[in-house]
Structures are given as structure tokens and as C-alpha cells.
Amino acid sequence: MSRGTLSFVALVFALALAVALPTAALAGEASYQDAATGLIARAPAAPPAAVPLQSSLTARPRGARRVHTIRPAAGALRSAPGVSAPAARAAGASLLTNFNGVSSRDSALTNFGLQFEPPDQGLCVGNGFVVEMVNSAYTVYDQRGNALAGPFNVNGPFGEGLTEFTSDPRCYYEPVHHTWIAIILAIGKGEESSSLDIAVNTSGDPRTVWTDYRLDTTDTPKHGGKGKECPCFGDQPKLGIDASNLYVTTDEFSILGPQFNGDQLYAFALKDLVAEAATVHFAHFAGLKIAGAPASSVEPALTSGSAPAEYFLNSIDPSETSGNTIGVWALTGAKNVASGGKPTLSSTVLPSEPFALPVPAEQKGTGTAIEAGDDRMQQTQFIGGRLWGELDTSVQIAGESQTRDGAAWFSVEPSLRQGVLGPKTRLAQQGYVAAPGSFFLYPALQLTPSGHGAMVGTLTSAKRFPSAAYATIEPGGAIFTPIAVAAAGTTNYDPEAERWGDYSWAIADPAGESVWLATEYVPPKSSQTPDGLRDWGTRVLQVPTG
């Protein structure tokens, strides 16, 4: 995954700055009309796998996102944008729900003692239930945080054997059809094949049996593909949805090597999925490109309400140092997918506030820093005519000499012309979320129909253990509130661990004016692995927004 060096000098006056940028796209608009179409069959029901011998288990860590195939050369520019930031605060008693979620202990206990990192959180809420999926366990809660079922091995809903390699779960509750949808990547035995697994539960109760579909993502001639240096797999499957389709984008990598083949975009007919049909129509755009280079981490939107298209965002940083442009994508003709037809995909590039690779984050109690990931786009939402997104960035906070980490956020007003993105597409608002002396990691943002929003992430510093934190924004607002700590970390993250993240999650409650949030933190000792070697946990919050 390549990311690029762009020279810039920036001083941003406030945490969040409302800016109307030039409407003209930097590199013109691009249109794709070459989607492949097909059908995927419902997977046969499979009984749970028998418990195998420990020696037969794969050593591959789950959550193994490929990071930075290009590292900045020594002395390469990585200019952190300047920001103003208020001090972090305690959350107080305003949260509707605040509970300890699935943890490293749960993952180990449901995976025969194997331990994984990072959690890679999936969170879905509806019909009185909260489902949290991580690497590599899940639990079903009520909306007060009481565990109703679990923890279980995360492979269960997908019909995979309990020791098969899977990673990067995400899920969504579709309220119109009372249907739970979950996705995960899977790599076959011998690392010779891969699939994108989709699990669907139309009962309204996620504790009941799920129906499974598997799309082959190996991309070799034997498997009907033509990818470079394959067998390949679709890393970090990202989930979006609208009234017509489930959307999944993946970053295609070689299973055995560093080759990156660009992003893949899939649209699956929602009508077929909620009917648990024997076959599901889908459309596939392969090898996406933008700004003259392969596109990576293109995030599909969770679309709230009616929309003329399904929208996507990605950050543009080709040499993995810094950037000041974002990609905007639109898929039109979405209804065509259900009948075997082709949709149209278009993209454009917008100038944006600067962002840069995050720096390793300090934590209390150890000199070992937390790996803060990269500046790829995180969660995306289309609501009220706006497309929202956020990403990790290093920041230079006013009055401080040390570079910190925070979140950059964007609110885009897309505009279509003749079924593709037009020149009136503009970046309407943008800004930063940060706290003095601190590092805010892996943000996720959602808004409610009234325009209230909440962002979640991990807050850590030399004086603070990794903690669960959030900030909110009012309708029409340009600045987020100071970051609030919802759950303080209990100790430092395992110094021998390599990964944090790779993403938090946020979702608007389908039944009311609140936002559900989930992020990684260090939980009480009772949620850490019994041997003390893995001490990550997750926190689930419900934030009132109106």
C-alpha cells in the first residue's frame, strides 16, 4: 500500500475548522463502467469443528494487516499539521451505557489458548441487542451491557471451523428487515486460497443460526482471477450499506509476499441477502486507482436515509509520509445489482487540510510506545446530504514542541452530474480532534439524523494508561467538545505486543438519538489473559446526542 510525500506548511486555528474549499477537483473526475457481475451461492451449513490438538493450530496471528510497504526514507518530510486543542476531561455521568466489552481473555478462552492482537472491532446494535465481534471472539449483550450469550469463537456465525484463520470482523444491524449482517476475511489451509465471508441472520436475534456466503478472493487463474503474485487475500474488509446493497471494499495483497494489487469493491444485493437466497447477485470493481496510483483503504459509507448514490472516501498519501488531498467516490445505478446489471463508479480528488503519519504513542508505566498505525481513512457515513470520514494523523499542538497524534475529520458535500461525481463536489467542513500532552488513536465517527455526532478513540500519554475516550459535536457545529475519558486504562499495554487498533467503531442507534461507540483500551486484570501476556480489552459506550 503506497502512500505519498506532499510538502506543506499548515497552521490550523482551531480543533475543528469550517472551510468551503474550491469546488473544482484537483485531478478531474474519473468514471468506471467495467464492473464484473456474478452470483455467490449460499454456503452449506457446517457443524462446529471438533477441538483439534494444539500442535495443529496455525501460528499466523489474526488481525495481520499489512502495514507500510513503503517506509519514508531518513530525513523524508512528515510535517504534522498545527492545531489548537483543549485539555481532556472526565466523562461525568452523561453516558447512557458504558461497559467492558470483549477482551484478550475472551479471545484466548474461545480459541484453545491462542492469543491474538489487535482486536479489530466490529460493533452492531439493534432490536434490543448489542453484538461485539473482535479477533477472535464475540459476545451478545443487552443494551445495558449484560452478557446474554458468549463469549464464543468468532468463526461460529460464518460457518468456518473453529481453528480456521479469519480476521478483521465487522457487523451491522439492518433495521428495515431486522437483519444482522457480518463480514470477515478467511484464509484457507495451506495458505493457498482465501475468501470474503458474509454471515446473515434474519431472525432479529443474533443468538440464533446465521446463514453464510463465501466469495473466493484468491484471484489466481485456478480460482477465476488474474491477480499479480497471487494467491491473494482481501485484507481489512470494510463495510458499507444503503437501501439497495451491502458494500465491501478490500485491500488485495499476496498471501505469501508484499505485492499490493489495489482495492477491490464489491456490491452485494441486499434484497437477496435478507431473503437468505440460494444465490446472491453481486458486482465487482477490481484494482481501483485514483490520483494516478492504486487506491488503498477506500471506505464505503454507512448510508442513513435516502441517497442518490453510495459514497466512499479514501486518503491520498502515496509515499506514506503526509498528504493534503482525499478521494471521493460515488456508485450510481445501485439497484441494477439485484437484477445482474452493472452500476457505475466514479471518483474525484479534493484538496483538504493536511494530515501525516501518526507517531508512536507514549503510555504511562513504560518507555515502550504504542504503534499508532497509518493515515488511511477510517469509518465513513453518508447522512443529511453530507459524507463524513476521519483518520489518524500526527499533530503539532499549539504551545508544545513534541509531536502528538489526533484525528482529522472531513465533511464532504458530493454532487452528481449525469450519474457521476461532478465539479460541484466540495469539502464543506474539516477539522481536528486532539488533546494537549496526549495521543488520540484510531478514531471512529457517526452522526444521528438530527446532526449530533460522536467520535471515539484511544487516549494515551506519558501520564495516562491507554483509555477509552470520545468527543461530540453539535448540529451545524465546527468544533468537537474536549475529549472525555469514559474508561481509564488500568496499566500499560504489553511491551512485547506489536499492534494496537486496527480500528474502532461507531454506529447510530437505529431506535433513537444516541451513538454507540467501541474502542480498545487496557481493561481490568480480570479481562486480561490468565498468563498476563496479552492485556488488551474493549469498551462499549452509548453517548446521548439530543
Residue 204 near residue 125 (C-beta atoms within 8 A): no
In the CATH scheme, what architecture does the domain 16-54+66-544 have?
A: 7 Propeller (2.130)
Question: What is the structure's pLDDT at 5?
Answer: 27
How far is residue 238's CA from residue 375's CA, in Å, rounded to a whole number?
16
Torsions phi, psi for 225 (to 5 deg): -120, -175
Single-letter code of the amino acid located at 101: G
- pLDDT by position in tens, the chain (length 546): 222 322 222 222 223 333 333 334 555 567 776 899 999 999 987 654 433 323 233 334 444 444 433 344 434 446 788 887 888 887 766 899 999 999 999 999 999 999 989 999 999 999 999 999 999 999 999 999 999 999 999 999 999 999 999 999 999 999 999 999 999 999 999 999 999 999 999 999 999 999 999 999 999 988 888 888 999 999 999 999 999 999 999 999 999 889 999 999 999 999 999 999 999 999 999 989 999 999 999 999 999 999 999 999 999 998 889 999 999 999 999 999 999 999 999 999 999 999 999 999 999 999 999 999 999 999 999 999 999 999 999 999 999 999 999 999 999 999 999 999 999 999 999 999 999 999 999 999 999 999 999 999 999 999 999 999 999 999 999 999 999 999 999 999 988 887 899 999 999 999 878 999 999 999 999 999 988 889 999 999 999 986
Which letter, b or e, does each residue of 361-394 get, where b requires 16 or more Cβ atoms within 10 Å of its Cβ? bbbbeeeebbbbbbbbbbbbbbbeebbbbbbbbb
Tens-place pLDDT, residues 6-26: 222 222 222 333 333 333 455
pLDDT of residue 496: 83
Q: CA nearest 491: which of 545, 527, 531, 544?
A: 527
Three-state DSSP state, 197: strand
End-to-end CA gap in the chain: 40
Q: What pLDDT digit, counting tens, does each position of 220-252 carry?
A: 988 888 888 999 999 999 999 999 999 999 999
* SS percent in the chain: helix, strand, coil, step 5: 5, 50, 45
SS3 350: strand
C-alpha–C-alpha distance, residues 387 and 381, integer Å: 6
Chain centroid to CA 394:
19
* Span 84-123, pLDDT tens digits: 788 888 776 689 999 999 999 999 999 999 998 999 999 9
Burial of residue 204, with CB atoms counted within 10 A of its CB: 0-12 exposed, 13-18 middle, 19 or more buried: middle
Residue 396, C-beta contacts closer than 8 angstroms, at least 6 positions apart: 80, 81, 82, 83, 403, 404
The structural domains of the chain, with segments of one domain joined by +, span 16-54+66-544
Model confidence, pTM: 0.91
Residues with Cβ within 8 Å of residue 156, at least 6 apart in sequence: 48, 138, 162
